[in-house]
Amino acid sequence: MGWADSTLSCRRYPGGLSLAFSAPEDVLYAATQVNEWAWDAARAELGDAETALEPLAVAADRLRREIAEEENPPLIAVR
């Protein structure tokens, strides 16, 4: 999503793994939407999707719009 300072964390456990990523404080809700799409994509890849998966290009455009609407530079400037 263009978050240059984002970091990834992965924790493996028997039967799977957990993956987390950081995001700017002002777009955490949109980051949750990114995570939910990724979860749905993983489920679809494993044949466990409950609903049709939104295509990546469509999802990326939607998520970029959500991020742009949520960005709050004055909030980030306070840090």
CA–CA distance, 7 with 16 (Å, rounded to integer): 20
What the block records as the tokens of 71 is 């960005």
pLDDT tens for 40-78 read: 998 888 888 777 889 999 999 999 999 999 999 898 888
pTM comes to: 0.80
Q: Is residue 16 part of a domain?
A: no
pLDDT of residue 1: 83
- pLDDT value at 27 more than 90: yes
CB environment 18-35: b (16+ within 10 A), e (fewer): eeeeebbebbeebbebbe
Q: Is residue 10 part of a domain?
A: no
| Residue range(s) defining the domain that contains residue 56 | 25-78
- How many separate domains does the chain show? 1
pLDDT of residue 71: 94
**Averaged confidence pLDDT in the chain:** 90
pLDDT of residue 72: 94
